Amino acid sequence: MTTAARTSADSSTDTYDVIVIGAGPTGENVADRTQAAGLSTVIVEAELVGGECSYWACIPSKALLRPQAALGAARAVPGAREAAGGKLDAATVLARRDWATGGWKDDGQVGWLDSVGVDLVRGVGRLDGPRRVVVRTPEGGERVLTARHAVAVCTGTRALLPDLPGVAEVRPWTSREATSAHEVPGSLLVVGGGVVAVEMATAWQSLGTQVTVLVRGSGVLPRWEPFAGELVAEGLRGAGVDLRTGVSVTAVRREGDSGPVTATLSDGSELTADEILFATGRVPHNEDLGLDTVGLAGGAWLEVDDSCQVRNVDGGWLYCAGDTNHRALLTHQGKYQARIAGAAIAARAKGEPLDTAPWGAHAATADHEAVPQVVFSEPEAAAVGVTAEEAERAGRRIKVVDYEIGNVSGAYLHAENYRGHARAVVDLDRNHLIGVTFVGPGVAELLHSATIAVAAQVPMERLWHAVPSFPTISEVWLRLLEAYRDQ
């Protein structure tokens, strides 16, 4: 039976080895691994195959951010600067964003599922007891799916809107509207100081919007090393963003159906803009998943072990990979967990022991201390592992080494007046890196080397023999090691 026929079936019961709920990058990877292992697999999706990342998060946001990053890089170098006048063409930037998302059509992703032999059922999937999923199809019918071995929940998260007077009536932007809007607003209020707030403020300011960022705390990126937030805030203000800290929104209202939005602030003042974006957190997208039918609480994060098997479910048949388990809310970590979960499901289905798998394929150990993340702001911020404060709070004996990236030859050749900073956190008892943070133009591509050093627990004396090429920004590695040696 074809995928289209399966999608349109009204009332049928099908049995598969594995059912995956959610066809984002995480769900796709679980399905790919289990199908490749010889387990018949079906994936259930209520919206677009490819999920949040492909259409409303990573892909469109980076498509919006890249043009300004390229222009800024050109303007930072004399000789190129003179050829890089003018402003971004907003219409072209938005058109390229639309191209990157496939125009919010998932034909290509559906074709990929077909190519690997994974069946697709469109509709809202809901657990209905052990190993059973009922799908409410777009046509109003029901499809009942039964799993022989496993069901994997890969439903991700949704934006959290604060409980404020008037918030529902003003139809605020969340990350979805911020990455998919087809017109450039004249002004935008951004509420929040995390990654979404910083990136969307950067993107829309570059397209000509006057952006005001309202941060309840003392600065942006509060969970990062302090210098990261400071340099990123400096970059935002330098681009023209009005960044205000220590202030929160207490109420919102909109004039008419499409008029401006007014936000009342905690200091009693008011701000008005064309649109308001709340980037104030994420919650698990599982409130109507039927978790109560298997003894779990709907709307709660699902606790899993390192094989992504959900705890406290009899029979060990339920898995959860990606954001919904709250281990690391990042697409690349979700895909990593998916590979682990897929391998674990296949091994258990075949009666194979997990602890004999090569490469630690059945344990998501990187979720604990080697999670990499990039903020595509100007300047970029990139980090892996723990901060110095987190390490100290955990009682670890550490040494912290810092270096100004602009002092290496590769940096001042990369950009005139390069401004950036690097920090390495070394566990003195274990003699290896447990955290690295870079901030500066172009530092995102430095991160994987740091991730390898942290994940592999490379001894500090061995890192000395990993020689960086000259003249590149990666020479900062040598300078950090020298600082560590000389302290």
Lowest mean pLDDT among 10-19, 54-63, 86-95, 235-244: 10-19
- Domain finish residue from 334, 366, 398: 366
Q: Are 464 and 388 in a shared domain? A: yes
Mean pLDDT (the chain) is 94
Pair (228, 320) in one structural domain:
no
Q: Place 2 in a pLDDT band, splitting at 50, 70 and 90.
A: very low
Residues forming beta bridges with residue 93, ordered by sequence position: none
Q: Residue 475 is encoded by which pair of tokens?
A: 């020479």
Domain count, the chain: 3
- Residue 438 domain flag: yes
- Whether residues 293 and 270 share a domain: the answer is no
Local confidence band at 361 (pLDDT 50, 70, 90 cut-offs): confident
330 and 390 co-located in one domain? no
Residue 293 domain-assigned (yes or no): yes
Inform me whether the pLDDT recorded for 173 exceeds 60: yes
Look at residue 96 and tell me if it is in a domain. Answer: no
Are 228 and 275 found together in one domain? yes
Q: Both 120 and 28 in a single domain?
A: yes
Q: Are residues 431 and 407 in the same domain?
A: yes
Q: Please, which pLDDT band fits residue 362 given cuts at 50, 70 and 90?
A: confident
What is the structure's pLDDT at 236?
98
Is pLDDT larger for residue 1 or for residue 180?
180
pLDDT at 10 over 60: no
Among residues of the chain, what percentage have pLDDT more than 70?
96
Per-residue confidence (pLDDT) for residue 206, from 0 to 100: 98
- 267 and 390 in a single domain? The answer is no
Structural domain of 253: 175-280
Torsional sign, CA 207, 212, 214, 215: positive
User: What would the two tokens of residue 176 be?
Assistant: 């979805």
71 occurs within a structural domain:
no
Q: Same domain, yes or no, for 388 and 457?
A: yes
Give the model's confidence band at 357: pLDDT under 50 very low, under 70 low, under 90 confident, else very high.
low
Number of other CB atoms surrounding residue 191 within 10 Å: 25
pLDDT digits (tens, 9 = 90+) for 404-452: 999 999 998 999 999 999 999 999 999 999 999 999 999 999 999 999 9
How many Å separate Cα 440 from the centre of its chain?
20
C-alpha radius of gyration, the chain, whole number = 24
What CATH number is given to the structural domain containing 455? 3.30.390.30
pLDDT, one tens digit per residue, over 372-393 is 999 999 999 999 999 999 999 9
Mean pLDDT across the stretch 7-35?
85
The reply to whether 32 and 147 lie within a common domain is yes
User: 455 in helix, strand or coil?
Assistant: helix
Residue 61 forms part of a structural domain:
no
Average pLDDT over residues 216-235: 97
- Out of 339, 366, 393, a domain closes at 366
Predicted confidence (pLDDT) at residue 8 exceeds the cutoff of 70? no
291 with 352, same domain?
A: yes
What are the tens digits of pLDDT across the range 114-167?
A: 999 999 999 999 999 999 999 999 999 999 999 999 999 999 999 999 999 999
* pLDDT computed for residue 356 by the predictor: 67
Residue 74 included in any domain: no
Residue 170, domain member (yes or no): no
Q: Please identify which residue in the block is written with the tokens 């960086």.
A: 468
pLDDT at 9 over 90: no
The proportion of the chain whose per-residue pLDDT surpasses 90, expressed as a percent, equals: 92
Paired strand residues for 436: 384, 424
pLDDT higher than threshold 70 for residue 370: yes
Alpha-carbon distances of 275 from 16, 52, 175, 193, 271, rounded to whole Å:
46, 22, 13, 17, 11
CATH of the domain at 10: 3.50.50.60
Residue 31 clears pLDDT 90, i.e. is over it? yes
For residue 110, being part of any structural domain is answered with yes
Domain limit, last residue, from 263, 280, 297: 280
Give start and end residues of each alpha helix (H) in 239-385.
Answer: 331-349, 366-369
| Judgement on whether residues 24 and 141 belong to the same structural domain of the protein | yes
pLDDT digits (tens, 9 = 90+) for 47-80: 999 999 999 999 999 999 999 999 999 999 999 9
